Structure 1
Amino acid sequence: MGSLSKFSGIRAKFGSKVDFITVYIEEAHPSNKDHFKGNIDIQTHQHLQDRLEAARYLRSEAAEDLKGCPILVDRMDDAANKAYGAHPERLYAILDGNIVYEGGMGPFNYSIEDLENCLETRLNMENTKSC
């Protein structure tokens, strides 16, 4: 959740011109898989209710950073995750139904700065096809 404060900053900067959403997908580091010690205790989602509960937990833990930002929850078949290659995290900018920015897969190629540059370019140049 370390990137959420940066995400909050970019939302504050562009929020009057751009809609932001967060999509909660499958848990990247479920506690029952023992990937990391001392991580948040969220187990692999077995049912949609588990995923919804995890998204609620995210909302409560990231209260200020995600304030006013809708959180959508991926289905249990992970359709959004698969379509966007989002595991464990990824940034996209979509304009008129077209992807104009596809960030690298997180956590190592996840760049809020690249998204910010893209949004600045898009908002300052009318006919730019992509970032």
Structure 2
Amino acid sequence: MEAIYQRHKGKAEFFVVYIREAHPVDGWRMTVNDLEGVVYKQPTNAEERTAVAKACQAGLKLSIPMLIDGADDAVGKAYAAWPDRLYIVGKTGRIAYRGRPGPGGFDPAEMEQALANLLAP
């Protein structure tokens, strides 16, 4: 995603929306997360969620601007975004691309092609 952002950041606005933690240590814990040092409890308030989101952004070395969903998970619910999903919102505010749910449906190349199609003259 970072590479796509770098290629297109002057032509479109990009945001990562941090939603609820997919694999918290107090929930659906994953061994791979333990091995990579990604060990966080599910945040229960805005401060905790912000701290985990910042750690995520740093750990993934993302310079893409990050927005953080509220404790009510309104964005995650509205966009059926859990555990991860790619969207393009067009200039009119309507969804122009909705990727399949991740991780299996997380397809940055497909999203980039949809973006290229939207940006084409």
1:117 alignment partner, SS class: helix
Relative to the length of structure 2, the TM-score reads: 0.89
Q: Given the alignment, which residue of 116, 121, 130 partners 2:117?
A: 121
C-alpha contact (below 8 Å) 2:86/2:111 kept by paired residues: yes
Q: How many angstroms apart in 1 are the aligned matches of 2:118 and 2:31?
A: 41
Alpha carbon RMSD of aligned pairs, Å?
1.3
Q: How many angstroms apart in 1 are the aligned matches of 2:58 and 2:113?
A: 29
Q: Does 1:13 align with 2:11?
A: no
Percent identity (aligned): 32
- Give the count of matched residue pairs: 116
C-alpha contact (below 8 Å) 2:25/2:40 kept by paired residues: yes
Q: Given the alignment, which residue of 83, 89, 93 partners 1:88?
A: 83
Instruction: Describe the shift of the 1:29–1:112 C-alpha distance in structure 2 as closer, same or farther (beyond 3 A).
Output: same
C-alpha contact (below 8 Å) 2:22/2:28 kept by paired residues: no
Q: How many angstroms apart in 2 are the aligned matches of 1:90 and 1:51?
A: 19
Aligned partner of 2:68 in structure 1 is 73
Deviant stretches of 4+, over 3 Å? none
1:23-62 matches, cutoff 5 A: 23-33=17-27, 35-39=29-33, 40-62=38-60
- Structure 1: gaps of 5 or more residues: 1-6, 126-131
Q: How many angstroms apart in 2 are the aligned matches of 1:56 and 1:123?
A: 30
Deviations 1:19-49 (A, max 9, x none): 1000000000001225212511111111111
